[in-house]
Amino acid sequence: MRRRRRRRIAVALIVLAAFLATRLPLLSSAGLWADEFFSLAMATGHSLEHPAAAADPGRGDFVEAPGAVAPREYARLLDHDSPPAPAARVVRAVELSDTSPPLYYLLLATWTRLLGTSQEALRLLSLVCALATLPLIARLARRAGGHGAVLPALTLFTLLPASVHYSTEGRMYALIWLEAAGSALLALESGRRRARPLALAGFVLVTSAGLLTHYAFAFIAAALLAALLLRPGALGRGRVALAALGIGLLALPWYLRLPALQDNWRVTAGWLSMVPDGFHRAIAFAQLAWSFFSLRGSVDVRLRYELAQLALFVALAAASAWRLRGRWLAPRRRMPWLWLLAALLPPLLLDALQGTFMVAVPRYALGGLPAAVVLAASGLSALRRRWRFTLLALLAAASLAGVLRLPQRHQRNSQPFRQLAEKLARTTGSDDLLIVHSIPSGVAGFARSLERAGAGPEGAPLLSWVEQLGGRRVPDDVARAAAGRRRVVHLSLHAVGAPPAAEEWLRRHARLVHSSANGTARLTIFEPSAGERF
């Protein structure tokens, strides 16, 4: 018994070391991107996505300054005010700007008050949530596949690139994993013969928290409740119905406001209606399902590594299907299957209803990653011991081919805020003008990046150009801001369907001296057609 316990402790310590070793470098290795800047704005009580006419500067809303200003004017939207905004203002910012419930932002508000709004502090909250999910996945895997599924589940959750990437992203995805895994485990505990009422109460509270974190959690909650109704155990269907009622009552105050909130105009409204390049719905859905295990979804690796990873999982699926035969859908695996389908199918169904392209955005199905890990681990546990560890070692090695590349990235989601800010902080001065064509989170994020790169009040002033707000005019605003400047630096970060009107006018009325692209950003630099200054 002692030997077995020492072995388990050793395995736990090795997994913990690998978990932290693969993630801690990512807290600072690549700069923040627009969605992470958005998280900071919401947590500090600053609305970004509202119509220009609805802005209230007194409550910290984003407002485009009449002219060019120091980057600090926009960077402050990502820091706590003094005193910090109360919870009510955080909720108001979420109501105006986001399409998600407010729980993550309220937690992040408290977290950043304690640890600050640095990049590392922001991402550390996600890492802590992912770390807390790890033992829950181990217990779920044991319930679904026995003791032989525990180590595979821990290994996969530790090393899969999607898990590593999103557990170090300043968004709510890791919190959703924690809530989904906790809710599933408490649901299973509630159905046991000697279950305590605390397990059912915990299930109600954790599931309600998930509903107040992301709307996609509603489908996961429905799947977990359906699994309980199919196999209620000692709980009984009457108590399951009471639990569903309790969950609904706790989430109801926010969801009653949902129709009005969804009608709010937002700067980035409609971006999901834009057709992705080379889109094919069936292929997109297959890629969505594969995104849990893919190497290339998080980092650019050679195709042969991706194909090797795919071949290994195909081999796992075939071997475990042969070994399990009809037992793949045994009652103990029913809950993770329903959970996984509840994460994968809604984007496809909502696209059909709304004419959108959610299925092409893997993060909308991320809530199903723990279920995918549990099912894969359950499949591995069905193999003979020698083959199980051989295949697991190959899967781990293939995953490492992607994971080891993650710290080498200089940007996330092809958004090079940090690199461009460092470059422009060195090469521009007070005689230059920076025009940032973006969305509000892009403007605020780039302004913050400039500050962090060393650009102070004496540097180039920044002219925000959010086309969707309709507050800028060509040529008036360009000419007024450029007057007396030696150069105009135009940076296009997020068009979201809006043409870069200022850049187009400059191309016709000034001399283009530099043009380059980096990820989703395009940098152009102009000088006067005649003379030294505009």
- For residue 437, what is the enclosing H or E element? strand 432-437
Distance, in Å, from the CA atom of 519 to the CA atom of 496, rounded to the nearest integer, reads: 15
Q: Which residues contact 531 (CB under 8 A, 6 or more apart)?
A: none
Alpha helices in 146-172 (DSSP H): 150-159, 161-166
- For residue 452, what is the enclosing H or E element? helix 440-452
Q: Which residues contact 437 (CB under 8 A, 6 or more apart)?
A: 465, 467, 490, 491, 492, 493, 494, 495, 498, 500, 502, 503
Q: Which two tokens stand for residue 355?
A: 């004419």
Helix and strand numbers (H, E) in the chain are 23, 5
- 416-419 long-range Cβ contacts below 8 angstroms, 24+ apart: 416/31, 416/518, 416/519, 416/521, 417/31, 417/32, 417/33, 417/37, 417/445, 417/446, 417/449, 417/493, 418/30, 418/31, 418/32, 418/449, 418/452, 418/453, 419/31, 419/518
pLDDT tens per residue across all 534 residues of the chain: 677 788 888 888 999 999 999 999 999 988 999 999 999 999 999 999 999 998 999 999 999 999 999 999 999 999 999 999 999 999 999 999 998 999 999 999 999 999 999 999 999 999 999 999 999 999 999 999 999 999 999 999 999 999 999 999 999 999 999 999 999 999 998 877 666 678 899 999 999 999 999 999 999 999 999 999 988 777 788 888 999 999 999 999 999 998 888 888 888 887 778 888 888 889 989 999 999 998 876 677 778 888 888 898 998 889 888 888 777 778 889 999 999 999 999 999 988 888 888 998 899 999 999 999 999 999 999 999 999 999 999 999 989 888 988 888 888 888 999 999 999 999 999 999 999 999 999 999 999 999 999 887 788 999 999 999 999 999 999 999 999 999 999 999 987 878 889 999 999 999 999 999 998 899 999 999 988 899
Q: Indicate if the alpha-carbon torsion angle 293, 297, 302, 304 is positive or negative.
A: positive
**Could you identify the residue written with the tokens 């120091």?**
70
What is the DSSP secondary-structure string of 296-338?
Answer: TTTS---HHHHHHHHHHHHHHHHHHHHHHGGGGG-HHHHHHHH
Domains and CATH numbers, the chain: 417-528 (3.40.190)
Q: Tell whether pTM > 0.85.
A: yes
- For residue 377, what is the enclosing H or E element? helix 369-381
Q: What Cα–Cα distance (Å) separates residue 336 from each residue in 189, 340, 350, 380, 502?
A: 15, 6, 22, 15, 51
Q: What Cα–Cα distance (Å) separates residue 127 from each residue in 17, 121, 321?
A: 13, 10, 34
